[in-house]
Amino acid sequence: MDEKTIELIKAAQGGNRYALAQLLHESYTAVYRYLLKLTLNEYEAQDIAQDAMVKAIEKINIYNYEKSSFSTWMITIAKNLFIDRVRKQKLFDKYAIENLHIEQHSTPLEDFLEKDEIISFLSKLSPKLRAPIVLKYGFDFSYEEIAKYLKIPIGTVKSRISNGIKAMRKEMGFYE
């Protein structure tokens, strides 16, 4: 971490609002893009990113720049807020939540969502159609596993995946 950033952190921890605002401003884009890949929804990503900024303001005095970079700390806060939201919404089971890590290597979901176009097309689907597609192609779940985790019949899983893919193809300009 460079000296300028360390000085900003120290100033922010000392109560300098300008320094804190600058740190948050510099990390916002990385936090937002990370959340966009997790949520597949720009409004939810913005909402969680904003919550992360508030949490960082509240917790700035416990941040230790010797343990992690400021952006890593911010992304960790955002990831934890996302996990809390997923738990509350009961969108994914314990297995999916435990496999959402911020590390150097990518997860199957991150590989699946590498292209912004995929995020865009998936975000236009209803959560009922999007969830099975993400579990199937992002986490490589079987139809049986998806049915178990979403608590729906296997036939419904297959139908939702098929309908979701058809909707995405139509949105992309491919017609059957």
* pLDDT tens string 150-174: 889 999 999 998 998 888 888 777 6
- The per-residue pLDDT for 9 is 94
> To 10 degrees, the CA torsion angle through 74, 76, 80, 82?
70
Residues 129, 137 contacting (CB under 8 angstroms): no
How many whole angstroms separate alpha carbon 120 and alpha carbon 114? Answer: 11
Residue 2 is given by DSSP the state -
Residue 79 reports pLDDT greater than 60: yes
What is the dihedral sign for C-alpha 49, 50, 54, 60? Answer: positive
State the distance between the two ends of the chain, measured CA to CA, in whole angstroms.
53
pLDDT at 114: 58
pTM above 0.95, yes or no: no
Are 102 and 30 spatial neighbours (Cβ–Cβ below 8 Å)?
no
pLDDT reported for residue 102: 42
| Averaged pLDDT score across all residues of the chain | 81
Do residues 12 and 60 touch, judged by C-beta distance below 8 A? yes
For the chain, the domains span 1-89, 105-176
Selected from 3.40.50.300, 3.10.20.30, 3.30.9.10, 1.10.10.10, the CATH number assigned to the domain covering 105-176 reads: 1.10.10.10
Tell me the CATH class for 1-89.
mainly alpha
- Per-residue pLDDT at 103: 45
Which of 35-49, 77-91, 113-127 is the least confident region? 113-127
* 57 Cβ neighbours under 8 A, 6+ residues apart: 20, 24
